[in-house]
Chains A and B, each alone.
Chain A
Amino acid sequence: MIPWLHVAVAVLAGITLGAAVLTVTLRNLYHCALSLALCLIGVAGLYVVLSAEFIAAAQVLIYVGAVTVLIIFAVMMTERITGVRGEAASQQRGMAFLAAAALAACLISIVQATAWPTVLAQTSSDPSSTTLTLGRELLTTYLIPFEVASVVLLAALVGAVVLAKEDAPREGS
């Protein structure tokens, strides 16, 4: 019998990591933003495998739907005006690669060396239960952080408008 979940995780991990590598290496920023969207969709698939349906839906709506579009708008606004393509890569690519590879090796060796709890790995959960539990938790245990998050979003909204808008015209004009 084929372990379908293993196959799904392998495929999703391949999509996610491949698109992530393209995101950080491609020179055209449009293509970077599009592969970022693909990578985020792969992460949403991983959430589905981990039976986190609400997080997966939020990921698609917020990251793929909003953040990627925002990034593409920013790319258009900062490239179009002069027509100059921003040179994407820097001189320190070798050092950056070494640092990232060392970090990855360090993290993976720690992950493999630690004895993680595997108690509940075998239970298959009810598809609707995680969303129900999450909603109840958000409005009981995490009520104050939930409300603070809405204030943070409002502050970020106002701050982004203030930062990005044109300077006010001088008095009398």
Chain B
Amino acid sequence: MLLPPLNVFLVIAALLFSIGVYGVLSRRNAIAVLMGVELILNAANINLVSFARFTDPSRLAGHSFAVFVITIAAAEAAVGLAIIIALYRNFKHINVDDVNFMRW
């Protein structure tokens, strides 16, 4: 069973990354921005796992990094959503364009 070459996986990850960047840039709702960030993190993980598959199957450094990325992403989602809920409690909206009271 032949795997597709590494390029294919990297292109998929690049497209997923760009879609995530589009989501982060175009959305105004903070939760939707956070979903874009999740897409970006997943694109990075696809890259890590495919490099691990195609280079060094005895060490699997890419898999370990993917585990850590998933861990940190879970922490990021929890803290990010907590911040969004605190924001909602104070402002009654979560529109990132209007939350600039800390801008210097």
Binding site for B on A (CB under 8 A): 3-6, 9, 13, 16-17, 20-21, 23-24, 29, 32-33, 36, 39-40, 43, 46-47, 49-52, 54-55, 58-59, 62-63, 66-67, 70-71, 73-75, 77-78, 81-82, 84, 86-90, 92-93, 95-97, 99-101, 103-104, 107-108, 111-112, 116-125, 129-130, 133-134, 137-138, 141-142, 145, 149, 152-153, 155-157, 159-161, 163-164, 166
By Cβ-Cβ distance, the 7 closest A-B pairs, closest first, are A24-B23, A156-B75, A96-B25, A104-B18, A100-B22, A107-B14, A96-B26
Cβ–Cβ contact A58 & B27, under 8 A? no
Least CB separation from B39: chain A residue: A20
A73 cross-chain contacts in B, Cβ below 8 A: 81
> Could you say which of A9, A119, A164 contacts B85, with CB atoms under 8 Å apart?
A164
Considering the chains assembled together, what is the distance between the CA atoms of A73 and B84 in angstroms?
12
Please report the number of residue pairs spanning A and B whose Cβ atoms sit closer than 8 angstroms: 272
